[in-house]
Amino acid sequence: MLIELFTKLGSLFGHLANNDTWEDYSWGVTSEEYEKLRYTVNRQFVYNGWFTKESVERALLSWSEVLTEDKLQEWSDAYQQVKSPKRIAVIMAGNIPLVGFHDFLTVLLSGHRVIGKLSSDDQTLLPSFVEILYKWEPSLKEWIVLTPAKLPEFDAVIATGSNNSMQHFEQYFGKYPHIFRKNRTSVAVFNGEETKEEIEALGEDIFAYYGLGCRNVTHLLLPEGFNLDRFFEGIFKYNEVIYHKKYGNNYDYHKAVYLMNKISLLDNNFVLLRESEELHSPISLIHYHYYKTSTDKEAFLQAHGSQIQAIVGHGYIPFGEAQKPSLSDYADGIDTFAWLTSL
């Protein structure tokens, strides 16, 4: 039943992502329901200025590509469904649209009940689609609870937040079986043979969702002698990102702070580059550093492995594909499905 429902939902996501005009009831919703969903998608920026129509549609399109019957069946068939359902609290982040959807889906397909604690930055999108699921299968009301407020009783916890959140997670939820996720980020590895088209595709990994996701590239690992003009030329098509007010404010602020502190920057008027071995960087700034040998490169990646979500480049995730994880690409490398079935 769930495979069929989420396949149907994935199809609906695709229509919304492509801004299709409603055709008939085969989509699973009436014309009025579909227009209400489109209104919700288009108005997310009112609740969260980062959630532009384009960003929400990007998230929906990404999910529509994996919510197919074949992919869902193959993924879930690799695990045993639980025989004794438990109540799993999922504390969701709100950095990008529907960022908690994978945990939501995994809990349900594993055979557990999901109690979703909605982020204050993303309170209306998932509930709108859950209402559609309720319409298609009313019995799901016994399996899904979403709340922005205090959690009802639960048996285990999946919590995603900042590094600063970990102390609170441990204090309030440490006594329960749990998965706690901290901040991670992503890295691009160059070998010097990248084409302009590949570097252009890397721009998608950097600027999608304005750089707010853990799969956004914030650090460039470059071979000695790499000409950064090639990088700036490749990403130029993303220059309009500067016209987003919140992104533009970040760019102006960080540029001023670094310059006042006499920290050297490279600047192309919409993104800043700073030479540093730091992985994490603020919005609108990318760190980079040079390596001498492949051994140096691998040593750096291994040393920072616990902080890296995705690596793009030749021999890694292809450029432009960081924001397209499969169903089995688990956050922090922890197999959530296996953990849920072991409870």
Question: Would you state the pLDDT for residue 166?
Answer: 84
* Residue tagged 């441990």 (tokens): 170
Of 166, 213, 221, nearest in space to 185 by CA: 213
The whole-angstrom separation of Cα 114 and Cα 146 is 8
Question: Would you state the pLDDT for residue 167?
Answer: 83
The DSSP-derived string for 74-121 is HHHHTSPPPSS--EEEEE---SSTTTTHHHHHHHHHHT-EEEEE--TT
pLDDT in single tens digits along all 343 residues of the chain: 999 999 999 999 999 999 999 999 999 999 999 999 999 999 999 999 999 999 999 999 999 999 999 999 999 999 988 989 999 999 999 999 999 999 999 999 999 999 999 999 999 999 999 999 999 999 999 999 999 888 999 999 999 988 788 888 888 899 999 999 988 999 999 999 999 999 999 999 999 999 999 999 999 999 999 999 999 999 999 999 999 999 999 999 999 999 999 999 999 999 999 999 999 999 999 999 999 999 999 999 999 999 999 999 999 999 999 999 999 999 888 999 999 999 9
User: Mind listing the domains of the chain with CATH numbers?
Assistant: 2-182 (3.40.605.10), 185-312 (3.40.309.10)
Task: Write phi, then psi, for 100 (nearest 5 degrees).
Answer: -90, 5
* Residue tagged 């040998």 (tokens): 293
Task: Report which DSSP code applies to 317.
Answer: B
Task: Report which DSSP code applies to 318.
Answer: P
The whole-angstrom separation of Cα 289 and Cα 219 is 8
Whether residue 272 contacts residue 283, with contact meaning beta carbons closer than 8 Å, is answered with no
pTM reported for the whole predicted model: 0.94
Pairing of strands 156-160, 308-312: unpaired
Q: Position 128: which residue type?
A: S
The whole-angstrom separation of Cα 338 and Cα 331 is 13
Which two structure tokens, joined as six digits, stand for 78? 């690799």
Question: Would you state the pLDDT for residue 233?
Answer: 96
Question: Would you state the pLDDT for residue 88?
Answer: 98
Question: Would you state the pLDDT for residue 205?
Answer: 98
The whole-angstrom separation of Cα 151 and Cα 116 is 8
Task: Report which DSSP code applies to 243.
Answer: G
Which two structure tokens, joined as six digits, stand for 3? 């495979």
The whole-angstrom separation of Cα 262 and Cα 79 is 54
Enumerate the H helices of the chain as residue ranges.
Answer: 2-17, 31-42, 44-47, 53-66, 69-77, 101-110, 125-136, 166-173, 196-207, 228-234, 245-260, 294-303, 336-342
Question: Would you state the pLDDT for residue 102?
Answer: 97
Question: Would you state the pLDDT for residue 92?
Answer: 95
